[in-house]
């Protein structure tokens, strides 16, 4: 489990295509404290550490993961948001995040708003129905508050600190993003469907 509070910006240092695709990720985390088998949210996607070296760790992504996330676009030099798994007793600064990406969205526009930036995204109808104004959404591993929703589009504000501490400071219109809907919204919707049947 994660909270959507990004704690490092990693960089892809190698991509190796095998049966699955292996990514080496450079990090400022103390890799002596990363166990083999640990889960790390990489651009919002929960991945298992398969190898550790000084200043980097390796993960593998299946064909299924590549097909559903932005990982298929990762190449050497791609910068990604990282978050270590939450430990019992840690502060839950964002919201409960599983690291299971529900689908992709696209940045439609970015507008300065004071010192912040207002981002507008699109999402598939399957995902958009779970996104609510003032609710939470995880975008590329970052817990964000939804400002408004209109059909299959929604907006968020990203403050200067978040722009500096994550990859959002370099985001561009047209970029694809990993979307994880709020877990509570998913279960409330499922319960409502069950009660109707």
In SS3 terms, 86-109 reads as: CCCCCCCCCCCECCCCCEEEEEEE
62 and 109 co-located in one domain: no
In this structure, is residue 98 part of a structural domain? Answer: no
Q: Per-residue confidence at 184, pLDDT binned at 50, 70, 90?
A: confident
Residue that finishes a domain, picked among 84, 116, 133: 84
- Tell whether the torsion through CA atoms of 35, 18, 74 and 140 is positive or negative: negative
Q: Is 123 contained in some domain? A: yes
Residue 42 and residue 141: Cα distance in Å, rounded? 7
Q: Quick one: what percent of the chain has pLDDT higher than 90?
A: 83
How many other C-beta atoms are found inside a 10 Å radius of the C-beta of residue 103? 16
CA 150 to chain centre: 22
State the pTM of this model.
0.92
102 Cβ contact list (under 8 Å, min separation 6): 127, 130, 179, 180, 181
Please indicate, yes or no, whether residues 142 and 186 belong to a single structural domain of this protein. yes
Asked whether residue 147 is domain-assigned, the answer is yes
CA atoms of 182 and 127, how far apart (whole Å): 10
pLDDT > 70: percent of the chain: 99
Within this chain, do residues 112 and 75 fall inside the same structural domain, yes or no?
no
* Domain boundary pick from 84, 113, 147: 84
| Integer Cα distance of 76 and 167 in angstroms | 15
Q: Domain containing 181: what range? A: 103-196
Which CATH number fits the domain that encloses residue 155? 2.40.30.20
Tokens 């907006």 appear where?
A: 155
Strand partners, 171: none
Containing H/E element for 32?
none
**Number of domains into which the chain is organized:** 2
pLDDT in tens, 163-175: 999 999 999 999 9
Give 18-69 pLDDT, tens digit per residue.
889 999 999 999 999 999 999 999 999 999 999 999 999 999 999 999 999 9
């Amino acid at each position: 489990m994660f909270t959507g509070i990004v704690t490092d910006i990693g960089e892809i240092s190698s991509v190796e295509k095998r049966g699955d695709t292996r990514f080496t990720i450079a990090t400022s985390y103390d890799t002596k404290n990363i166990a083999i088998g640990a889960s790390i949210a990489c651009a919002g996607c929960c991945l298992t550490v398969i190898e550790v070296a000084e200043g980097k760790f390796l993960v593998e992504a299946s064909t299924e993961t590549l097909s559903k996330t932005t990982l298929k676009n990762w190449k050497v030099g791609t910068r990604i948001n990282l978050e270590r798994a939450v430990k019992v007793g840690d502060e839950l600064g964002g919201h409960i995040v599983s690291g299971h990406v529900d689908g992709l969205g696209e940045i439609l526009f970015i507008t300065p708003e004071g010192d912040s930036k207002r981002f507008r995204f699109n999402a598939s109808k399957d995902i958009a129905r779970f996104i609510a104004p003032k609710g939470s959404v995880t975008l590329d591993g970052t817990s964000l508050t939804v400002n408004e929703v209109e059909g299959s589009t929604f907006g968020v504000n990203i403050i200067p600190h978040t722009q500096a501490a994550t990859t959002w400071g370099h985001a561009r219109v047209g970029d694809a993003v990993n979307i994880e809907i709020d877990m509570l919204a998913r279960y409330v919707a499922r319960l409502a469907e069950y009660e109707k049947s």
